Structures are given as structure tokens and as C-alpha cells.
Structure 1
Amino acid sequence: MSGQREIIEEIVEGEEDENGEENLETGGNDVVESQGGDGEEVLTGRSPSAEVEDTEEAGTQADSPDDKDTQQETEYTETAVDPVEEDQSVLAEEAEQLEKKTENVGNATATVKVVLVPEGHVMTVAFAIGLSIQELKRHLASELRVPAGVLQLSLDDRVVEEHQSLMELGIRPHSSTRMEMSSTDPDSHPLRPLRPPQHNSMSDVITARVQTDEGVFKEVVVEIERSSQQRTFLGGYRHRLTGAEYHHAAVQTLPKKRPDRGVAVFSRDSQTVEVKSLVQQCPVSISTQMTGIGCYVSCVNDKLVRPGKYITADERHNRRLRAVIFLQSHARRWLAQQAVNQLRKERTRRLAWLELQERRRQQEKEEQLRDRRQRWMNPQKREDFNLLYNALEKWRREEEQQINSSLRGAERKKALCSLLEQEVQLIAAIGSHRIFMETNNYDKVIQTFLNKSAAPHQWRGADGRLIEMDTQFTIRARELRDLYNNISLFTVNKEQRIHDLQTLKHTVMECECQLTRDIVDLIDREVDLMSRGVKASNLEGLRQRTCTLFLQYIKTPVFNPNVVKLLKVPQNPSQLKNDMFLCRGCHRYLRSASFAASASGCLSSMCQHCAGLNNIARPRDDFTLYKKILRKLRDDELLLNKDAKFPFLLQVEDIRYLIEVIWESHSALNGSSDLYNLTFVRWQRQRDWSPWNCILLSKEETKAHLELEDVHKTYEKTLICGVEHKHAVARQHFSHISVMAKYLNSHLAAPHGN
């Protein structure tokens, strides 16, 4: 109450200063005392400032010399009343009057200009100074259509509280203040005015002083509302004596908008043509005037018209009919030529496409044969040597069959011994070539190992781009790889070689152990021999030992932690507890990665190395073609269904069983036995591929088969029965495998229409 009382006293003093001159001009006649019906004093004819001064005049009216009786009564009262009771009554009256004045002052309005941060737009509002900042925020939030909780008002760079009022902030009635408003969440609720910003040269709120009665003035707050539309001047009135002009209300208010009826309306002028009146003289040829008395008409331009052959209506219709038939015959002939030409073009295009497909198939077959011949002549991989051993086995069987069919007795044994010697020589030649290729590929294997260890971490980002990240371990592996490549070059000059050896020496001396000491001894020995002028050819063995020891240094996880993921033997012995199996061939305990997996989920009894030796010694099979068929099957199924399971559960041995045992290595339609041209497709294309929903066809038949909607209406009953029998055999074979049997029942119960 003390703070509000101080503000009211300041406001009263300011209004006294402003209204002092007005009170002097009226000569004190604005205050008229009149006795009411209840004996109370009623003040009439006073200005608003006089009402505010009631608190000060209440104490001075008793001492006024105007009324002697009043003074005597006051003196009598002062002598009769106790001073303490008098002070309490006076304080109560002052508090009551102060509350009334506070309510009157709180209802007064002030002009508040709010600046929107950071846009800089200004909003002007006439607001009562007795209301709180929270109510001002609600008013502004409704104007800006944002939640009131995100608004923040500040005055003189200081954030104001919501419970404070404009009066408590020191704002006087009928004054103007400037405040800044910002949003606590500018991303979701930015502050933008709904109406376009107006010119800042004119104020939005003005305070006008209006005379309500004789000698009585009243402050009125006027809000100016601007319109972007240009209003026409409709006239008005002018006072003859004062010269004041009064315009119509339509000039000062917004125009009334007509409702849109949804129908385009045009004026009459836009729907009619311009009409003109013209005077025209008739020519002589159409005049009816003839030569007569007093009138001569020239006959120079006259001509004689003779009637021709009369044509009846039937003759005219017949002539038009013959003309129509003539035109139709030529038009149909032209259309027929166009249709024949189109058919000829389509036939030519079809023949060209068939020829192109045939040429492409021939090229693919020739390329496959060329690749197979190249693998025979220059084998590089393990599959290439398996192809050689397979060809050797086919040749041995053909020769043995020919010998058994043509020779008998001792000649047969002699021929078989000669065949055995030739087979041994060929096996030895293939083995020597394999050892030579492994020696040549040693550097490639080492380089691949070093590149994998130095590769950065890669992953796909949300936008699909490939992101790479280097760690301290990948940087270390990259430095060791580059140093190994420099050490492996034996053809560099002497200075460069010494520099590389010194770099290697400083690198390995970071951790001292027996391996690093051996590398340092070899480096010192090579530097000493090079300083003595020893030939480079005599240092190759020493340099090779240095490279071998440094490679062992790189493969040690202590010196290169990034190679842990590439080592076959894990560094943690606990990982070997449940991952070791016995090989029945070499009788060694190896990890599960050394054994081949099958669709049944069981590992083979022999490791991959022993299985490869057994294949070379006994069956000599080549699985290259079956791998290609399985790879093509997986690619085709991924295009049709991304959730395909069966093609990825099968292994190469299972595909070989399907082709050789169930489908007997030939196409189900034309009987082609060329494995290079055979492929697996769906039997019913609405269902996923499985061993009991497949058919083995050639590449030419695949496209036509996949276009069939219902195979039971297209193929003969004999072919359908044969295919269904093969499906039953495949279902019986793969039902013993637990992984396949899990999907067998669900696949049969699944609805069609994939």
C-alpha cells in the first residue's frame, strides 16, 4: 500500500501542476458546495483533476475561513474527542479515500507500444494501468495467435514479472511507454504481426481532450485503424460560420465487402458487340428499274443466260454417292498401306530383337567357353584348379572306358598302366603350377591383409552417403603398411634405402622385446654391409628376412591393435572354448570357420583343406556352375521379394542335389542339358521360390514361363504331374532338415498373391 500511495501522490502532484492554470481561470467557481438530502456534501461541476485532489482538500476544508460556523463546530469537536480516537478515525478515512482513488487511477488507460524482437515491428495498445502484465500478455497472445506462456516482456532491458501491474512499473495515466516483447521458443512460435506493418510516421493511439460540459474537460484515448484500400470521396457538409467540414461515414470507415456468390458476373457491355448504322446504295445489277418514258437504263453490260441440262435430285444424289465411294476406296487403300507398313516394321523389329537375343546368347556362351578355356590354361584361384582336376577326371574316364571296350588281357593292363603314368604326370604338373601361383600371389595376399587392417570405419548416413572415420589404430596400421611397402622395395638407391631402414629402426624400438631386437640387428647388419659396398643381389636374403620379421611385427596385436579382427586365432582363449571341433581327416582341432556348413546346420566331419584334398584325389568335382546358378537365383528372388528366405538357406551341395538328382540335369520343357544355359525359376510365380515351387528351364524359356498367370491351364497334364512329383520328392528330402522344416508348414499355409 505504501508503494501505491507514493505513486498516487506523484500522479496527484503532476495533475495539480497541469490543472493549476485551469483552476485559476475559472476563479475557484468550479467547486460548488450543496447540501444533500442526508446532510452530506456533494461536489459538482469539477474536473477529473479535482476529484484526485480530494485526499488533500479533506484536511484543509475544516480550516477554511469561508464558513465560521463550520470552524466553530470543528473546534468544538476537537476539544471533545480524544486525540487517539481522532487519529484512528482520520487514518481510516484516509485509507478508505485512498482505496477509492486507487481504483479510479487504476481504471485510467495508458498507451503501450510493444516492439516485437527481433523483427522490429511495433504494436500500440491502449491498456488500463491497473491491470497486470499477465493480462497484457493474454491480450497480445490473442492478437499474435501464439501461446501466452512463450511471451516475455521487458522494460528498460529488465524482464517484468507477470503479477506486476503497469501502475507498479511507474506508468502514469494517459502517458505512453515503450516495452520489448520476445518469444522463449522462436523456432516453434515466432512473433510476426498478422496485419502488414503500417507507416511509423503516424501514431496508432492518440489522446484527445474533449469538453463534455461547460468548463469540464475529459481525456479520451482514440485508436486509429488504417485501411489499405483507397476510399472514394463521397462529399459531405461545411459549416458556414466556422468553416468546419464534415464528411460522410463511408469515407471514414472500411468499405463493405460483398459476399462471393461463386458465379462470375459480367456487365452488359462485355457481352454485346458494338453496333453501327451504315448507309449502303444498291448496285445496278440488282435494281428492278426498266427503261421507260423519261428513264433510260444502259444495256451495255447485259448478257444472255441460257438454261443448261436439267439434273434431277436422284442424279445429283447418285453423283455424290459415286464421289463418296471413290474417296472412301482411296482412303481405305491408304489406311491399309499404313497398317501393312506398321506390321512390316513390327515384324522387322521383332526379327531384329530375336536376332539380337540369339547373338547375345551366343556371345555369352562363347564368353563362358573362353573364360573356361582361360581358366584351364592359366589357373589363378582354387576354383580354377578344381576345374582342371575335373577335366582331368573326365579325360581319364573316357580313356579308361575306351581301353576297357577295345583291349583285353595284357594289352589292357599295359594301356591302363600307361594311362596311370600320364595321369600322375598331369597331376604333378598341376601341383607344380599351383605352388608357383601361390608363390606369386603371396605378395597380393599380404597387400590385401595390410589394406584391410588400415581401412577406416565405414557406414551409411541418413542421406545415403558413405561416411568414413579414422581412429588412432587405423592411422597406426596405415603407417605400418606404408613402411612395409617401402622396405619391400629392393630397387631403390642407397640413400633412400638407408633412410627407410632408419625409420623402421626408430618405429620398432618403441617397444623392446626379442622380435624388435632381431629386427634392429638385421637393420644394423644390412647398413654395415651396404657401407662396405656389398652387391644388392647378395643382400636379397637379408632383406627378405627383415620383411618377414617386420610382417610378424605388424601381425602382433600389441604393436598393431587393428589386426585383431583379421587373425584366425583369437587372442582371448575363452572364445575357443565352444568353437573347437575335431577334423576326421587331419585329426586336428580347428575352429568352426575351417569347416563347411550345410543347410542342415551341421558342420562337415572334415575341414575345408581336407575336403579339398579329398576332392582332388577322388571325385574331382567342379562346383563353379552350381555357384553361378545359386547366385543368379538369389539375385532374381531379391528383386521379386526382399524377404526371401529359401534361396539363402540352401548351399551349393543342395543346389547340386536339386539339379542332378531331382531334375536330372536337363530342362523340364526342351530337355536341354547345358548347365551354362539352365536356371531355376518359380513354378507358380504368385508364391515364393522354394524347392517344392521351382522348375529348371533354359534362359530362353524363363521369360515366357514367368508371364503365365495359371500354369495348370497352359501346360499339359503329363508335364504338370511330372513337376508335382519332383516337388514331392524335394519336399520329402528337405523336410528332414530342421531349418527348412520350420518354414515348410508356414509356406504351405501362406495365402497366394505374393
Structure 2
Amino acid sequence: MTVEEAGAQADLPDEMTQPKESKTPEDVGNSTATVKVVLVPEGHVMTAAFAIGLSIQELKRHLAAELRVPVEVLQVSLDGRVLEEQQSLMALGVQPHSSTRLEMSSTDPSTHPLRPLRPPEQDNMPDVITVRVHTDDEAFQEVVVEIERPRQQKAFLGGYRHRETGAEYHHAATQTRPKRRPDRGAVVFSRDTQTVELKPQTQQCPVDVSTQMTGIGCYVSCMSDKMVIPSNYVTAKEYHSRRLRAVICLQSFARRWLALQAVNQMRRERDRRLAWLELQERKRREEKEEQLRDRRQRWLSPQRREDFNLLYHALEKWRREEEEQINSSLRGAERKAALCSLLEQETELIAAIGRHRIAVQSNNYDKTIRNFLDKSAAPHRWRAADGRLIEMDSQHTIRARELKDLYNNVNLPAVSQEQRLHVLMTLKHTVKEHECQLTRDIVDLIDREADLMSRRVKASNLEGLRKRISTLLLQYIKTPAFNPEVAKLLKVPQNSSQLKNGMFLCRSCQRHLPSASFCPPAGARLSGQCQDCTRLDNIARTRDDFSCYKNILKRLRGEEQQLSEDAKIPFLLQVEDVRYLVEVVWASRSAFRASSDLYNLVFVRWERKRHWSPWNCILLSKDETSAHLEVEDVHKAYEATFIRSIEHKHMLARRHFSQIPVMAEYLDSQPASGLTNQLFSRPITMMIKHAAGSRAASAH
């Protein structure tokens, strides 16, 4: 018998190592068989040793754990016939220690495809092998052995290298665990290993020692003798005292060296700490300067909606300050005249902002059109297995690229008359391929421009006509019937059923708009106003700047993603929810020094060992966050009054967000039912307007 067979026989159960005898049905059901499962439609084969007495449901559970898919989506079949979960392999005719072949497919292949966890090219070892075991003198038994694949890497046990070929051979580690000795049930101690044995034994010098002295009849020369004078006698006390002084001297020098090392280490740590503090202070200062520079740049050259909201917010703040100064210093007719002058100045500033906004919108419109045409004309790209980027052009992308070049040629500002006529003729032949009202309008405008150019009409007088041609051409390009590649870029779906389900009514403008035109909070409930009406209402009434809340939310998401990859609540919140937390719950002030600069406030964890949530947060300035994050236990570091005030704010946030279904499932074990008699909730818009009104009343 070989070493492998002996190791395999050592690990086999007792019933496998015994000779074959008559077995009961229970013993037959416990026998194993090799089951080869083919994953449809990939064709991968999984092999496992399975007891023939167990049901198909147990087999599905085992394979679902291996493939990491739900059990409900698995479907096992044999020869095209779907097997029931209550059937066993023995009922299907599978014999002990034999093999069978089953097919397994997924009822939901798009969501839960069946793929082996280990690629076939990386796993050449079979899952099940058959070992022939020598049981008696002339009897052999075939035993099915399932090979285990531990996740950890086996230890390197050495090896050798062939000198001529250079091939390396490693010593292999056995996978079979050694057989343990049976436990006798009693603790055994040996007295012989704990007792010292003493034996008396005589010793004899190798050479006899003798002395020779001068005597009668014996003369010993003293020419080689020398006089030895004894030195001072050192007592044991003096010897030990000298040793003690030497030890003290050595210890003093050693302790001096250790003290120098400790001081140098403390000095290095102090320098690193001071450098880190200086770096953090420089980062905060640079971040503050960057915010001021960005805000100043947004004031001088606004480009986005947030920039114009910042301008309107600054204009409203300036108007309130001027109005308060006029009301406090002037009376009667002078006050009315000053207010009229203030109104005129505000009107001029609003008109200037509006003119700049129209110019920015025109520029942004041109950029949007160019980006739209570039995306539609871009080739299909994907990453190959070797990492190379592959690009492919289809007939639709080539068509989109031709229309893009034609649109750019039509909008060229300064060209000669011959070039313009050539571009118009190319456009005319292109659109005449499709007969509809849009193409007929384009052809009529092209003929009109060609006729006017033949009459020597100035180019400045043809500007309106050329814009109409450009607009109709853009409409032609955005039609999927003429340019199929733009169908995936249009915001409005082409399927009428999708258009019906994704449309909502705006209560302000009374228009049916898609869901992307609304801004839902964390409650996933669409507000009654679309984004355009909300922005118009903000310009006309409140004139608030939401960029500060957007920056707070962006910073919060970045920090929580670095601390924990499982953070979910910060990514469920929207800008309106952060605004509610800052203005209503925390009153737009820091919890420590009552700082009211919104651009300097951030949200951090109240207890840093728990995930961030509206009921586990604190609003602080950027300078205060580093000190708070070093606190291990907030209940020991802060006073009871301060802790109660923070917990009260957490109860307010818990009460508000518990009404939102998507946020209620993340509530911790502390119930919020005790707040029923203490708190009441209002809609977020009412709370914000009430808070804004109270601040205005206090300012007046």
C-alpha cells in the first residue's frame, strides 16, 4: 500500500475501513456518490461527493452556498426533466460509490447568473477523487474522497533544485490530518520527570601528585625559586563594595544613555506633533482662503445656478442692511425718498444680474449642444482582457459624426459665398433623404438663403435666417428616426408607456414634467414645484444660497466614506435635509462657540465609534473638529448640561427622520416613542420659513 493510500485510509471513517458486509437501507443512504453538476448555459462542471440518501433540496443548498446565489433561483434537471426537491439520489437510481451527471440552471440569469468562483484555468485539481483502499489480505474497496481547498496558503517546507536543468522541486505538505490518540479521561502526571536522583561517586586524579623538599641526604636547588610577597588582603565586604561601585557606575552611564534616547524620542514626537499641527493649521487656512477666493470669483463671474443664488443672497443681505440703516436714521419724507432710491438701486442690480445670466445661459447652451453632438458621434469603447482600449464605429456612429460635421460647417461664422453655397447644397441633399414637414422647411429655408445670396444681400441681414436653419438642423439631428444614435441621450423616453409613468404635475407652472425635473429629499417624495419654479421662487422671494449646505454634505460624504465603506445614511440625505438639520435642529450655529459662519461649519460624529446619522452627529467649526474627534468617551469629557442639550437635538432629528420610511429602518435600538408627549413635527418648508421669519423679526 502506498503512502497516499495509507494516509487516505487513516482519515476514513470506521465503516469505510471495515470489510464489505450486508448493509441496511440507512447505511446505503449514508453512502456517497460523485455528483457532477453542469452549469447551464456556461457549461462549467462542478463535482462534489454527496450522500445518496439526501434530497435534491439539500444538494441545492450546498451548491447555492458554493455559488453564492439564493436557493430559490436554482433548478436541477436530469436528462431534460426537472427534479423535485423531495427526491433523493437513491430514488433516481444512483448506486453507492458511483457517479451521476445533473444539469443546473438559474431561473433569473440576468440577476443571479451561475458562475464558478474559481476560474477553470486557475483550478486544474479535481474536487473528488476515488482511492482504492486495501481492506483485507485480498480485498480492495474504492472510496470517494472529497478534496478540501483551504483559503490559507500552505507553508513552504523547503525543497531542492536540479543542477543541470534548473528545475525546482518543493516538499509537499500532506492534507490529511493526523489521527488523534483517544482521551483516557484522566490527567496523568509522571513523578520520575520531577524528581532529582543523587548518586555518590569517587574521583581520582589522572596523575599522582607529590612534593620534594630538602632533607637529610636530599638536596634541592633553590636557584629558580623566587620570593613572593603577599599583597594587601581584600575582605569580602571590600570586594562586594567595589563591585557595587562599578555596577552603580555602569548603571549611571546606561541610564544616562536611556534618558538621552527617551528625551530624543520625546523631542522627535514633539517636533512631529508641532509639524502636524502646523500642517493642519496651514490646510485650514488655505481651505479658508480657497473658499473666500472661490466665493469672490463666483461673485465676479457667476457661471452656475449656485453662483447666481449666491449673488441674489448677497443682494438681499445688502438690501436688508441698507433698509435697517434707513429705518433707524431717517424719518418721514427723507425715509421714503431713501427707500425709493434703494429700490431703484436694487432694480438696477437685478437687471444687471439678469443680463449676465442671459449671456451665461447662451454660452452654456452652445457648450451643451457641442457636448451632445460629441457624445452622439463618439465610437463604442470597451476595455479588453489585456487592458487595451478598443474602439468600434457602427453605421449609427458614422451617421452621427457626419451630421455633427455638417452642423459645425453650417454654423461657421465667416466663410466665403462659394463655401456657404457648397455647405447649403450638402445639407439639402442630406435632409432630402427623408420626406417630412421638417425636411421640407429646411429645404425651403436653404432655397431662400441661396436666392438672397444671389441677390447680393448683406451677411448681417441673413443672420436670422441662418439661425433658423441651424435650429431646424439641430432638431433634425435630435430626431431618432434620422439619427438613431441620439435615442440613448434624450431625456424624454421614446416609449410612450415610460413617458406616462415618469411624468408628474408641477403645481406652480401646471406642466407635466419628468421626475428628473423635481428635487426629492430623503423621503423620496416629489415636491409640488419643479426645479425651475423653485429657483424662480428663490430669486423672487427668499433669495437663499444653498451652496454652503451642498459643501457640508459633500465634505460629510467624503469623510464617512474614508472612515467606513458601509456608510449609507450620508448618501441618502439631500441638500434639503442638511438644510433642515443645520437651520432647524442646530439653529445654524456651532455647538461649542456658537459660530454662525456656514462656510466654516461641518458635521462630525458625536460618538466616533458609531456610524454617522442625524441622531449621532454634532455641528462644529473646522477648528473644533480635531479636538472633538480625540475624545474617547463623550459622557466623561463633557458636562451633563451640554450632553443633555446635544441629546435633545438628537431627539428632534430622530423625530423628524423617523417619519421617512427609507430612514426609519436605520434607527438604532433607542426608541423614539418617548418623544410623543414632548415634540411635534411640521413639514420641512414650514419649519424653515418659520425660522427665517423669526430671525427677520429679531433683526428688525
> Partner of 1:695: helix, strand, or coil?
strand
- Which residue of the partner structure matches residue 551 of structure 1? 474
- Which residue of the partner structure matches residue 622 of structure 1? 545
Q: Does 1:696 align with 2:592?
A: no
Contact residue 679 and residue 696 of structure 1 kept, 8 A: yes
Deviation at 1:352, TM superposition (A): 1.4
Give the letter for the 2:547 counterpart.
T
Alignment of 1:4-153 (within 5 A): none
- Which residue of the partner structure matches residue 516 of structure 1? 439
Residues 671-704 of structure 1 show CA distances to partners (whole Å, capped at 9, x for unaligned) of: 3322222222233344433322222123344345
Structure-2-length-normalised TM-score: 0.59
Q: Does 1:348 align with 2:283?
A: no
Give the letter for the 1:680 counterpart.
F
Query: Any unmatched runs of 5+ in structure 1?
Result: 1-146, 151-186, 190-286
Give the letter for the 2:665 counterpart.
Y
- Which residue of the partner structure matches residue 75 of structure 1? none
483 and 336 in structure 1: CA distance in 2 versus 1, 3 angstrom threshold: same
Give the letter for the 2:482 counterpart.
F
2:411 is aligned, of 488, 492, 511, to 488
Q: Distance in 1 between matches of 2:513 and 2:312?
A: 27
Contact residue 523 and residue 546 of structure 1 kept, 8 A: yes
- Which residue of the partner structure matches residue 118 of structure 2? none
Q: Distance in 2 between matches of 1:638 and 1:466?
A: 30
Q: Does 1:649 align with 2:578?
A: no
- Which residue of the partner structure matches residue 605 of structure 2? 682
Contact residue 657 and residue 664 of structure 2 kept, 8 A: no
Contact residue 549 and residue 575 of structure 2 kept, 8 A: yes
Number of residue equivalences: 477
344 and 416 in structure 1: CA distance in 2 versus 1, 3 angstrom threshold: same
731 and 460 in structure 1: CA distance in 2 versus 1, 3 angstrom threshold: farther
Residues 488-543 of structure 1 show CA distances to partners (whole Å, capped at 9, x for unaligned) of: 33346777666655543443232233433443455566667778988766665554
Deviation at 1:421, TM superposition (A): 1.0
430 and 648 in structure 1: CA distance in 2 versus 1, 3 angstrom threshold: same
Q: Does 1:671 align with 2:594?
A: yes
Residues 401-451 of structure 1 show CA distances to partners (whole Å, capped at 9, x for unaligned) of: 111112222221111111111111111111111111112222101112223
- Which residue of the partner structure matches residue 597 of structure 1? 520
Give the RMSD, CA atoms, in angstroms: 4.4
Q: Distance in 1 between matches of 2:448 and 2:492?
A: 33
- Which residue of the partner structure matches residue 290 of structure 2? 367
- Which residue of the partner structure matches residue 351 of structure 2? 428
360 and 742 in structure 1: CA distance in 2 versus 1, 3 angstrom threshold: closer
681 and 573 in structure 1: CA distance in 2 versus 1, 3 angstrom threshold: same
Deviation at 1:351, TM superposition (A): 1.0
Q: Does 1:337 align with 2:260?
A: yes
> Partner of 2:344: helix, strand, or coil?
helix
Contact residue 213 and residue 220 of structure 2 kept, 8 A: no
Q: Distance in 1 between matches of 2:564 and 2:386?
A: 24
Q: Distance in 2 between matches of 1:512 and 1:338?
A: 91
Q: Does 1:382 align with 2:286?
A: no
Deviation at 1:587, TM superposition (A): 3.3
- Which residue of the partner structure matches residue 240 of structure 1? none
464 and 744 in structure 1: CA distance in 2 versus 1, 3 angstrom threshold: farther
Q: Distance in 2 between matches of 1:644 and 1:345?
A: 36
Larger deviation: 374-383 or 406-415? Answer: 406-415
Q: Does 1:450 align with 2:376?
A: no
- Which residue of the partner structure matches residue 19 of structure 1? none
Q: Distance in 2 between matches of 1:463 and 1:683?
A: 47
Contact residue 599 and residue 739 of structure 1 kept, 8 A: no
Aligned residues: percent identity?
69
Q: Distance in 2 between matches of 1:405 and 1:608?
A: 38
- Which residue of the partner structure matches residue 743 of structure 1? 665
Deviation at 1:399, TM superposition (A): 0.9
> Partner of 1:679: helix, strand, or coil?
strand
Contact residue 662 and residue 730 of structure 1 kept, 8 A: yes
Q: Does 1:562 align with 2:485?
A: yes
2:651 is aligned, of 718, 724, 728, to 728
Q: Distance in 2 between matches of 1:400 and 1:638?
A: 45
Deviation at 1:486, TM superposition (A): 3.5
Deviation at 1:553, TM superposition (A): 1.1
Deviation at 1:487, TM superposition (A): 3.2
> Partner of 1:597: helix, strand, or coil?
coil
Q: Distance in 2 between matches of 1:462 and 1:729?
A: 53
- Which residue of the partner structure matches residue 330 of structure 2? 407
Give the letter for the 1:731 counterpart.
R
625 and 592 in structure 1: CA distance in 2 versus 1, 3 angstrom threshold: same
Contact residue 666 and residue 672 of structure 1 kept, 8 A: yes
Q: Distance in 2 between matches of 1:149 and 1:598?
A: 57
- Which residue of the partner structure matches residue 42 of structure 1? none
651 and 149 in structure 1: CA distance in 2 versus 1, 3 angstrom threshold: closer
> Partner of 1:443: helix, strand, or coil?
helix
Q: Distance in 1 between matches of 2:379 and 2:446?
A: 31
Question: Larger radius of gyration, structure 1 or 2?
Answer: 1
Contact residue 313 and residue 545 of structure 2 kept, 8 A: yes
Structure-1-length-normalised TM-score: 0.55
297 and 566 in structure 1: CA distance in 2 versus 1, 3 angstrom threshold: same
